[in-house]
Structure 1
Amino acid sequence: MRSNEYWRAWSGMAAFLALLAAAPVVQAANVSPGPDLVSETIQTRFDPVTRQTQVAGKVASDLCFHLSLPDEWRRSEEGLKAVVSHVELGVSLRSARELRDMPQPDLASRDAAFLQRDYEELLGRPAQSVSVSSNAGAMRWSATWVDVNLPTASHAMTVETLIVPLSNEWVLELSLSGAETQGAYNTLAQRLLTNLKVQGRGGCQA
């Protein structure tokens, strides 16, 4: 039998998740503790001719990443926000040092397991469904919780993070939210994974 403390914690979390109920996939950076947000080190440049936003992020003096997004995006507290829609992109870093106690064989797998543990501790229960897949050199982790107290029509919440190893010391966590449909979400997620480029040593601009 579940304790009253458990149900109070879960009900409180369900009330919080009501704010996120419109999104088909919740942005992990908004609710998961731990990773370092890198919004202050991100630079964006919108090209009105191509209707694309070029994004550059600096991790260290010898490590950076670049990607492009459709239409215009601007920096936000968690990362980036589209100007013409409600789509947001959470951009976070996690260090290998933070993941050193995880037993998985590679950095991306350790980060996925770390996220899984964090969310289960945050929500107070294990996920009913977990998916981990590799895509374009990155890892796509998602987990779904189902409960009648959740404020969505399906009484379910799915959290997903795209995990990109940048080096032996860092992984990049990309979390999309606000897409109108699952199809739109998948298209943008695939674009992120296929055009993201990592540069080291002399490839980073000052």
Structure 2
Amino acid sequence: MMLVAKRLVAALAACFVASSSGVAAMLPASEAMPEATQAKFDPVLRETYVASRVTPNLCFSLALPREWRVAVDDLKTSLNAVFSTAELDMNLRSARDLQSLPQSDLARRDAALLQRDYEGIFGRPAQSVSLASPAPGVVRWSATWIDANLPGTSHAMTIEIVLVPLSRDWMLEFSLNNVETREAYDALVRQVLSGLRVQGGAEC
């Protein structure tokens, strides 16, 4: 079972973590949401063009297949597919959060911080952890917890987040929920990464 929505993770963590104090670590105070995210559907190309601002001098864009719409709440910025229940969640993390970590690059430092935060939430180490590099400089972090109190026959929860350096100062963290198959999931990740464009200065 792949679950990455933060509210759902917090609710399930409460089922088997002895102390709930770690849940506050889910969203570090310095984690930010992309500002002014806009999505425009092109009915000819059958793609949704997404643009988002990080700072006045840093922004990024990407393309998604078919039609998606922006949804913003107090925890995240999401893009919801019109044609299915699929959801793309986006968060930003400042490189300042990662300065004390020993890993060699920003993406792996971000993965280490996520690992620490989620293990704090669940009160135990993950049973398995995976780091992959689907594109140069990008890290796909995933971790699995198994507990008898988790729903489903496997009693397992896997959290997977793709970590993309936007600049030396900012990381983009994105995750996908409710994608029907692993093949469709991997295809969406590839499309997001291949279409991601970072602009600076006057281009924003």
Shorter chain as normaliser: what TM range?
Answer: 0.7 to 0.9
- In the alignment, structure 1 residue 37 sits paired with structure 2 residue 36: no
Question: How far apart, in 2, do the equivalents of 1:100 and 1:129 lie?
Answer: 25
| Alpha-carbon offset, residue 37 of structure 1 | 1.8
Q: Are the structure 2 counterparts of residues 29 and 193 from structure 1 closer, same or farther at C-alpha, using a change threshold of 3 Å?
A: farther
Q: What amino acid does structure 2 have at the position aligned with 1:199?
A: Q
- Deviation per residue, 1:128-147 (Å, 9 max, x gap): 11011112231111001111
1:203 matched residue in structure 2: 203
Unaligned runs of 5+ in 2: 10-25
| Alpha-carbon offset, residue 29 of structure 1 | 4.6
1:129 matched residue in structure 2: 128
2:166 matched residue in structure 1: 166
| Alpha-carbon offset, residue 75 of structure 1 | 0.7
DSSP-derived class of the 1:180 partner: coil
Unaligned runs of 5+ in 1: 1-23
DSSP-derived class of the 1:41 partner: strand
Alignment check: 8 A CA contact 1:108 1:139 kept: yes
- Deviation per residue, 1:142-194 (Å, 9 max, x gap): 00111121102211110000100011100000111011122211111111112
Q: What amino acid does structure 2 have at the position aligned with 1:92?
A: N
Q: Please, what TM-score do these two structures have when normalized by structure 2?
A: 0.84
Q: Please, what TM-score do these two structures have when normalized by structure 1?
A: 0.83
Q: What amino acid does structure 2 have at the position aligned with 1:36?
A: A
1:4 matched residue in structure 2: none
Write out aligned runs for 1:30-69 (5 A): 30=7, 31=9, 32-34=26-28, 35-38=31-34, 40-69=35-64
DSSP-derived class of the 1:37 partner: coil
Question: How far apart, in 2, do the equivalents of 1:124 and 1:181 lie?
Answer: 30
Question: How far apart, in 2, do the equivalents of 1:97 and 1:185 lie?
Answer: 31
- Deviation per residue, 1:28-80 (Å, 9 max, x gap): 55443223122x42111101111110000111122111100011111112321
Write out aligned runs for 1:184-199 (5 A): 184-199=184-199
Write out aligned runs for 1:1-206 (5 A): 24-27=1-4, 29-30=6-7, 31=9, 32-34=26-28, 35-38=31-34, 40-77=35-72, 78=76, 79-137=78-136, 138-204=138-204
Q: Are the structure 2 counterparts of residues 104 and 28 from structure 1 closer, same or farther at C-alpha, using a change threshold of 3 Å?
A: farther
Alignment check: 8 A CA contact 1:52 1:69 kept: yes
DSSP-derived class of the 1:76 partner: strand
RMSD: 1.4
User: Structure 1: which 4+ aligned runs deviate by more than 2 Å?
Assistant: 28-32
Question: How far apart, in 2, do the equivalents of 1:28 and 1:134 lie?
Answer: 22
